[in-house]
Amino acid sequence: MQAEQLLEVETSQGRRVRVLATVSARARRLNLTVGAGGARVSMPEGTHPATIRAFLREHADWLAKKLRQLELTGRKLSAPVPGREDSLTFRGVQLPVVWKHESFPKIRISNNDLIIGLPMDRDDALPIATRGIRNFLMREMRRESTRLAAYYELRLGKSVSGFRFLPMKTLWGSLSSSGHMTLDLSLILAPPKALEYVVVHEMCHLWVRNHSSKFWDRVADVFPEVDSQRDWLNQSGHGIKTELARWIGKMPQAI
């Protein structure tokens, strides 16, 4: 089988679901997940195609149910309304949002609340809040990513040349040939270990550019929680990507 291949499975209700099948050097069994990038099944090298098809048929209805749940969640997340009770997930913790009327926009965390200060009486209060949240998340993301990269530079002996943060539709990160790292901004909403895993993952590509067993051994050597954090992103990543889009809308440009 190819390293990556799109397969299709039909549920008992007649719905056809596309699944990205990937061969993983680390996989010991078939594993089906549903996340921000859709449905994915990973398998050990040498798995027979008939075994994969049978596995997907067995789990087809579960797969359809999970996809429906994600679709419904996405539709419910409407844009915030200044002054209305709300919350924002930050670093894995759901923070109540406290709106305050202030002359100049200012976003900060105080006593486990996210304080959004802005001129509430203006017609463009929501765009002001959106820009403020975006800048706040950017600032926190840059601080955390820089700190993590500096720490793992000592472990890996290699460093990144710079960072870029933006919403990514399916990926969590990438690394250019020059060592410039791009990270999904929604990772600042995730539990800290999830961001740490993605930073380590991309930094390990400074040593090994592909996803061979040598690469995964390198990741696990410096970050033993690789499997648990990868599973978290596959299973829960859709939520933080959708929540980020709800709060910041479409970014004008990558930073």
Choose the most confident range, by mean pLDDT, from 4-18, 166-180, 194-208.
Answer: 194-208
Q: Which of 27, 52, 74 is the last residue of a domain?
A: 74
pLDDT of residue 227: 93
User: Does 255 map to a domain?
Assistant: no
On whether the CB atoms of residues 77 and 57 are closer than 8 A, the answer is: no
Mean pLDDT of 11-19: 83
Residues 98 and 64 in one domain: no
Residues 45 and 101 in one domain: no
pLDDT of residue 252: 47
Residues 228 and 146 in one domain: yes
On whether the CB atoms of residues 113 and 121 are closer than 8 A, the answer is: no
Q: Given a cut of 50, is residue 254 above it in pLDDT?
A: no
pLDDT of residue 98: 97
pLDDT of residue 3: 62
Q: Given a cut of 60, is residue 76 above it in pLDDT?
A: no
Q: Given a cut of 70, is residue 1 above it in pLDDT?
A: no
Residues 98 and 216 in one domain: yes
Q: Bigger pLDDT: 64 or 121?
A: 121
Identify the weakest region by mean pLDDT among 141-155, 199-213, 240-254. 240-254
Q: Residues near 206 by Cβ (< 8 Å), separated by ≥ 6?
A: 156, 158, 159, 160, 175, 179
For the chain, the average pLDDT equals 89
Q: Which of 31, 51, 74 is the last residue of a domain?
A: 74
Residues 118 and 216 in one domain: yes
pLDDT of residue 238: 83
Residues 123 and 242 in one domain: yes
Q: What is the pTM of this model?
A: 0.74
Confidence of residue 183 (pLDDT cuts 50, 70, 90): very high
Residues 94 and 192 in one domain: yes
Q: Which of 41, 74, 107 is the last residue of a domain?
A: 74
List the domain range (segments joined by +) for residue 9: 4-74
DSSP string, the chain: --SEEEEEEE-TTS-EEEEEEEE-SS-SS-EEEEETTEEEEEE-TT--HHHHHHHHHHTHHHHHHHHHHHHHHHHH-PPP-TTS-EEEEETTEEEEEEEEE-SS-EEEEETTEEEEEE-TTSTTHHHHHHHHHHHHHHHHHHHHHHHHHHHHHHHHS---SEEEEE--SS-SEEE-TTSEEEEEGGGGTS-HHHHHHHHHHHHHTTT-SS-SHHHHHHHHHH-TTHHHHHHHHHHHHHHHHHHHHHHH-S-SS--
Residues 220 and 101 in one domain: yes
User: Does 216 map to a domain?
Assistant: yes
Mean pLDDT of 103-115: 94
pLDDT of residue 2: 55
Domains in the chain: how many in total?
2
